[in-house]
Structure 1
């Protein structure tokens, strides 16, 4: 690709500057050249080279306002806000109509979390600038910092009215619409934007995302199709398109779209996993398993990959294989509650009750506080005859589920088993109050307790 004359001059300036650093010869650059060199080094994160360039620049051009404004930018970057402010006041005395002075002052106020003052200064900058889009974009960002999404949205829209190609503003305006739960309005705005700029792949992609969020999958696919027609290497659009096709159960087309993302870039574990899921939905178990294996090979730390293989074998009722893979997953991450719950569930299916109890205990220990996990764990403890531990576990569960009848019925049953009738009646009363019809839990889990006349009478009395 042939470079423009401007780009060639820019590259020549950079080469000349770097050559000067190596040889220690002092060469002359005009102030604009220095500005470009300094900003280049700042952009690529080489602050030390930027500082060297600035020092030489100010030696050669001590009166340059542009260079002093770059110096302000670097002082702000280093959080030397008072020095930056002092220099800006000096520059203001010389050039009170320079919009960059107001922009940098706004930047300082923004750093100090005074976003209202920053907006005030940026509005002054608007009266002097030729680059309205940039200033409106900055105002939008300040309103975002203030969580004023309506004003932020308006500012980003004004930015786009001046410059349709300002991509960051386009992303931000959609973000504002979404945050304000105005998805329909966002789609309407993007439709108008696309009328003016029909070849914006980003606008089509964002429209597709919004339709997807509203479960309008056909419309989403249509929008993603336009995005990929404009840019046939738009990986994000191909990925989103595949997800929408999956939702419509068009699994073969979804696989094609996921495969396109793999052609465009290295295979991602997410794409491999979804391809496996699609093949499983199509009943192609061999290909499904192949892609699940590829997923965990690509990213051994992705729990969804291991879970997909484990669940695949559970659905085939091949619990031995399922256990093998969940153990492999636990060898990589033994603090993953999803792995421990599956380990427990599989062990239970294989009648390995002590291992199942251990698995549920570990799942809870590592943050699984869902009701079914507590109940499965307690039922295993009861089956193993560990009634005291079961009762203590249920009391622990009441911290998360203080008004849950299934817990109360189990506590009543356990206390009746332990001949602690006072506590048993207390929990049975709670259970019957919360859900009278669920007393069948006692019959199912505690047949000995259920057969007692005292319990039957207590339930009958409560019914009256």
Structure 2
């Protein structure tokens, strides 16, 4: 057992002892560090009621501990009890006005209340009092980020990482801010600098790998994760990321090998097993794929990706009735996936459940209207049923939502031609040709006989470059 696992087990044992005390109603002694661990455990798992119980018990034993009073204020804020939290932190400020955590807690409360200018001011005040604390700069970054000031947020996260390169949450938020602001590629040097300063730091290579991965530089990312693994062979997260690089490069067997190293021997995770199942699916090794998806479900029956994966396998083998069960389970667990609804709709259509298919496509376009497949497949059924007006209306709605998608315009043009609306069809075709000329072949794939229409082919030729 590694040191991290031992520490986690110790905390869980302490938490269990605390819960026994509450259940039995008999007082037990906990030192200050024990109470801090118990409170952290509950807050990290968002069990704020229990966290507050721990705070009350702790303050009863250590009434003069400013650390515990600050914890209590922060837990009250997490529960939305802002006024009580502010009263508590004002009490601490009266005792210890220069305590950096007083400013930090006020900043956390202001952030949760949506008062981002005040939050930034408080965190900056805290950073002045304790300039070597990475958590303060991290919280400052969160305030800027929620304020939509991504450049300022990135600067704060960078400062947090300079003080503590192991802060993975800061890495993730920094990468997000750089990605959103379109500045990721120009900031790769920031991550490279850590490996230059300490080439034997596994975490530095891991963070650089994540940056390359986000920038879609998968070869460079794989190399960085390789270095992290060379330094620390049991860096399981690095193995998982390296596997994801291989997936992105469509090297599925190499990805499988790495996913199998992404957990301690004999302790597979549901996520790793599901990822392995997906790789075997890409290799069309159906039995191996289904076996790993099922193993993932044995560990976590609520894993929607594994239910969906088995559905995909059955669908590929044209076992549509069986696939329906798995797709329905997947959408039942995660109804916000357009991909799941589209797959379910396709299977419903294959078994002749046309009404159910139409309902599923409608749901797909509700939850993810930016996915053109839902609109196109839904409209295709209406077209096949002779409902040209319905198909045209769907394509108009879709093309308004996704004006840069030429496929939708060519499809709309085809439906209008079928309905005899030639003038409207030619207007749409002109827009489609301007958007993406080469995709005009889609029109002829949909209606091969259109290649014989001279007026149409002349119009297309006018736009050939």
Per the TM superposition, whether the score is higher than 0.5 is yes
Match runs of 1:178-217 below 5 Å: 178-217=179-218
* Structure 2 partner of 1:38: 35
Contact 2:104–2:126 (CA under 8 A) maintained in structure 1 = yes
Aligned to 1:122: 123
- Residue of structure 2 in register with 1:336 after alignment: 341
Residue in structure 2 matched with residue 276 of structure 1 by the alignment: 280
Instruction: Please say if residues 398 and 407 of structure 1, whose CA atoms lie closer than 8 Å, have aligned partners that are also in contact.
Output: yes
Query: Does the CA contact (< 8 Å) of 1:228 and 1:238 recur in 2?
Result: yes
1:430 pairs with 2:434? no
2:104·2:122 contact (CA, 8 Å) conserved in 1?
yes
Query: How far is 1:411 from its partner?
Result: 4.7
Q: Deviations over 1:80-134 (max 9, x none)?
A: 4334434444544454333233223333333332222222233333343374333
Quote the residue 1:323 is aligned against: 320
Matched, 1:308 2:298: no
Query: How many Å separate the matches in 1 of 2:180 and 2:330?
Result: 35
Per-residue deviation, 1:309: 1.6
* Partner Cα separation in structure 2 for residue 330 and residue 167 of structure 1: 34
Range moving further from structure 2, 112-121 or 328-337? 328-337
Change (3 A) 1:441 1:83: closer
Matches of 2:175 and 2:75 in 1, distance apart?
Answer: 32
2:54 maps to which of 37, 44, 49: 49
Q: Deviations over 1:315-335 (max 9, x none)?
A: xxxxxx443543444564688
Q: Per the alignment, in what secondary structure is the counterpart of residue 233 of structure 2?
A: coil
In structure 2, do the counterparts of structure 1 residues 444 and 260 end up closer, same or farther at CA, with 3 Å as the change threshold?
A: same
Residue equivalent to 2:269: 266
Q: Number of aligned pairs?
A: 404
Measure, in 2, the Cα distance between the counterparts of 1:240 and 1:124.
Answer: 38
Find the aligned partners of 1:357 and 1:274 in 2 and give their Cα distance.
Answer: 29
How far has the Cα of 1:362 moved from its partner? 4.2
Q: Is the partner of 1:366 in helix, strand or coil?
A: helix
The equivalent of 1:169 in structure 2 is 170
Question: Which sections of structure 1, spanning at least 5 residues, go unmatched?
Answer: 281-287, 314-320, 348-354, 382-386, 415-423, 451-455
373, 378, 383: which is aligned to 2:377? 373
Which residue of structure 2 lines up, in the alignment, with residue 105 of structure 1? 106
Q: What is the aligned partner in structure 1 of residue 334 from structure 2? A: none
Give the match's secondary structure for 2:58: helix
What residue number does 1:132 align with? 133
Tell me what 1:229 maps to.
230
Shift of 1:225: 0.9
The 2-side partners of 1:19 and 1:332 are apart by 38
- TM-score normalised to structure 1 length: 0.69
The change in CA–CA distance for 1:232 and 1:361 in structure 2 (over 3 A counts) is: same
1:258/1:169 Cα in 2 relative to 1: closer, same or farther (>3 Å)? closer
Which string of whole-angstrom CA distances, capped at 9 and with x for unpartnered residues, describes residues 24-55 of structure 1?
5797x8xxx44x34323311223323312312
Q: TM-score, normalised by structure 2?
A: 0.69
> How far apart, in 2, do the equivalents of 1:458 and 1:15 lie?
80
Give runs of aligned pairs for residues 339-350 of structure 1, distance below 5 A.
339-344=344-349, 346=350
Matched residues in 2 for 1:164 and 1:139: separation? 17
**Structure 1 residue aligned with 2:434:** none
